[in-house]
Each structure stands twice: as structure tokens, then as C-alpha cells.
Amino acid sequence: MSQSINLIVGLGNPGNEYIDTRHNAGFWFLDELAKCYQANFKVDKKFFGETARVTIKGEDVWLLKPTTFMNLSGQALQALAQFYKIKLENILVVHDELDLEPLTARLKKGGGHGGHNGLRDISARMGKDFWRLRLGIGHPGDKNKVSGYVLSKASKDDRISIERAIDNALRVVDDIVVGDMQKAMNTLHSD
């Protein structure tokens, strides 16, 4: 049985100083997805973020960019999901992933937070059993440099690679939204 996706949450930090940082890869993805569907985000204070609605393959889908900063991402997700009664298994969280190279996008369900503060907060508030679209940003090589790395601007080459990973992920959004996760994974994971 397939599960449709009714909420796609892109993780990032609000504010101009963070726009081009690696940690905002989830925002970059949602911005591109919204462009594909001519959707515009609007600030929605009751959901602690910017929201848009699109129809993908006949499914009504909310797009959410939390404005709570990364470590409180779950507050926004929880507010919107509870208000619209969206179950955890019908949620896709799009985030930056240190353990993947910048050209890589991977889909999975559940798992730990891997030190990612946005995932940590969502898991603590809602549980772990949500879908994740992981966008590779690479690793600085030293765990003590991770914070500075994710909050710094990607190099030109890394940004191009991350944007290619986003493009590849956009190609499988239809499959993800209608719940054909295996098809989406087969496509993404063969890149």
C-alpha cells in the first residue's frame, strides 16, 4: 500500500545571512519546487513559517519553510501537521546531509538525527517515522568544524553539485507525492 505525501518541509535558517549556507539546502529545494508549480510562499505566523500549497499529481500538498531557526524546526512542522491532521508517514522532510557528497540526493524513511538539530527537534516532538529527502553537502573532515561548515557558504563547485542533486530530486517528486517511494529510490539511488 502506498502513502501519499501531503506536507513537504524544507529545513533551513531564516534571514539573509543564512540564504546561501549549506544548512539551507532544504529551503533551496522548496524554492525550486515552488517555482515548478508557480507557487508563492507567504508568512504564516500560526505555523511559524512560510507556507504555500500546490497540487502534485492530484494530491494537495503543503510546502513549509520554518522560520523558527533550525533547532526548533519541529515547532512549525507540528503546528501545521496537527492543524490539518497530517500523519507523520505523510510528511517529507528535506534537509542537508553531511554524510553524503554534494551531488547526491537520497530518500529514506525514519532513522536517527545524526546530529542534525532540525531532525533532532522534529523527532523529539513528533517521532522518527517520517520520510526524509537527504541532500548531500559533504563533510568538512573534522567533527569539530561541522557547525562552521554547515553555516558557511558552499563553494561554487559544491553549490553547483547541490543544485544538480536538487534537480535530480525534483524529477522524482511526483513519485514521492503519490507514494511510489520504491520507484523514487530506484531513480535517485542509481545516480
Q: Which of 77, 56, 84, 79 is nearest to 180 (CA)?
A: 56
Helix axes 117-126, 73-83, angle to 10 degrees: 40
Residue located via cell numbers 512560510: 50
104, 163 Cβ separation under 8 angstroms: no
Per-residue buried b or exposed e for 107-126, using 16+ beta carbons within 10 Å of the residue's own CB: beeeeeeeebbbbbbbbeeb
Domains and CATH numbers, the chain: 7-189 (3.40.50.1470)
List 23, 113, 116, 189, catalytic entry:
23
21, 137 Cβ separation under 8 angstroms: no
The DSSP line for 101-150 is: -TT-EEEEE----TT-HHHHHHHHHH-S-SEEEEEE----S-GGGHHHHH
**The C-alpha cell of 109 is what?**
524513511
Mark whether 139 is an active-site residue.
no
* pLDDT mean for each 10 residues of the chain (191 residues): 85 94 96 96 96 95 96 96 96 95 94 89 94 95 90 93 96 95 92 61
Which pLDDT value is given to residue 77? 96
Which pLDDT value is given to residue 1? 40
In one-letter notation, the amino acid at residue 129 is: D
153, 113 Cβ separation under 8 angstroms: no
